[in-house]
Structure 1
Amino acid sequence: MPEDEGAASDPRLLEAHDLALAALREITPAQTIGAPAGYLVEDGGVVSLRFENTLPGYPGWHWTVSLAVVEDAEPTVLEAELLPGDGALLAPEWVPWSVRLEEYKAAQAAAEAAARADGEEDPEDDEDVEADAADDFDEDDFDEDGSPILHAGDLDGVDIDELDAEAPDDEEDVEALDDESEDARDDRRESGD
């Protein structure tokens, strides 16, 4: 436990454990506060009392209450907080987005350079891939009835492409459908719907 002559001049700060515990109980449940873990004398006669932390996920952290004494007054609480101690698990140092982006771009460029160093792709390989893709659409795409096997465009066994094929293609059929829908609208207007 570090000690300082300034702290020795007012022992009330070192003995103010009850005041420090009361301040901590205002910000955290009592079961998260452990045994006293020492103190730290700071500038201006401020003393920070430390207590063990029992919160899961915060190993090595301490509840810290900073106390001070103003002339002819009782000790008072300045701050109460959870601070990391030696060996505490801390988040990594923050790195600005622009720096992270530069590092990412450099890593991507290095990966591309390594791929080029391994050798350029053989154009014959590309042709083989295209030929393999064309082979995929051969006889395997049809079942015994000669109908195409379901694909991503099918909905509950109904081929959407097949429905499009049944749609009227010539303008006369389309005009007939338009006339029917206009007649239906006129009928609704006349009936008051």
Structure 2
Amino acid sequence: MPELTDAQPTDSQPAKPTDATLLAAVDLARTALLEITSDDTIGEVIGHIDEGDLVVSLLFDCLMTGYPGWRWTVSLSRVDENSEPKVLETELTPGDDSLLAPEWVPWSDRLVDDDIAADADESDYDESDDDEIDDDPDDDSDDDPESVEDDADDSLDALDALDGIDFDEALAAAELNPGETTEAEADADHGAPQPPTRSRRARRP
């Protein structure tokens, strides 16, 4: 039985030359670009890309400020070798040395990164609080439980001093004897200094 061997690749067919009619359709491509941009932003043809199957992309230099290395790309095609070129697509594409924006990061990933950074900042803040030194080393009232108890006792003593006062009886007495309050107010008014009165001189006859 003959030994099986791997099939050898046949000689590849020579590449077909780029369609000359599509390469010559520069005016058609420029007219298509004028529908999406102004004439002063379109430079000269700087190259082309043979997409195959009668499809060619013509590359125009982009003269817009802020887009160095970019190029206007117009894709042209023909149905067959006897038909006229048609415009498939127009777009602005980056070149090999073009200035590009940073890589896009999804919002969910950016949110996670922000949360991680916030947690790291919060942990650093907590550690700095633990390392802080008390401004007054002699003042240990916050740490001494006896000082806290003394403050509580002082508050209770202040409340005990009011236990012997009957506020309801004092208010009732003031309502039953309103005249005493009026007299006390009058006495206070008489005791206060009064403004001088103007004296009238007797008119001479």
Normalising by the smaller structure, the TM-score range is 0.5 to 0.7
Once superposed, what is the RMSD of the aligned Cα atoms? Answer: 2.5
2:120 match: 110
Pairing 1:42–2:42 present: no
Unaligned runs of 5+ in 2: 1-13, 137-205
Match of 1:90 among 94, 100, 114: 100
The 5 Å alignment of 1:71-82 reads 71=80, 72-82=82-92
Q: CA deviation at 1:7?
A: 4.3
Contact 2:54 2:79 in 1 (8 A): no
Q: Could you tell me which amino acid in structure 1 is paired with residue 102 of structure 2?
A: P
Sequence identity of aligned pairs in percent? 49
CA distances 1:138-165 after superposition (whole Å, capped 9, x unpaired): xxxxxxxxxxxxxxxxxxxxxxxxxxxx
Output the CA distance in 2 between the equivalents of 1:46 and 1:88.
25
Q: Over alpha carbons, which structure has the higher Rg?
A: 2
The 5 Å alignment of 1:48-87 reads 48-71=57-80, 72-87=82-97
CA distances 1:100-147 after superposition (whole Å, capped 9, x unpaired): 111111112222333344461547359xxxxxxxxxxxxxxxxxxxxx
Unaligned runs of 5+ in 1: 127-193
Structure 2 CA distance for partners of 1:5 and 1:22, relative to 1, 3 Å: farther
Contact 2:60 2:71 in 1 (8 A): yes
Output the CA distance in 1 between the equivalents of 2:23 and 2:135.
79
1:99 is paired with a residue whose SS is: helix
2:102 is paired with a residue whose SS is: coil
Pairing 1:33–2:17 present: no
Output the CA distance in 2 between the equivalents of 1:27 and 1:90.
21
Match of 2:20 among 11, 25, 38: 11
Q: Could you tell me which amino acid in structure 2 is paired with residue 40 of structure 1?
A: I
Contact 1:32 1:54 in 2 (8 A): yes
The count of corresponding residues between Structure 1 and Structure 2 is 123
Contact 1:7 1:47 in 2 (8 A): no
Output the CA distance in 2 between the equivalents of 1:96 and 1:81.
25
Range 56-65 or range 115-124, more displaced: 115-124
Q: Could you tell me which amino acid in structure 1 is paired with residue 84 of structure 2?
A: E
Structure 2 CA distance for partners of 1:20 and 1:7, relative to 1, 3 Å: farther
The answer to which structure has the higher helix fraction is 1
| TM-score for both structures, normalised by structure 1 | 0.56
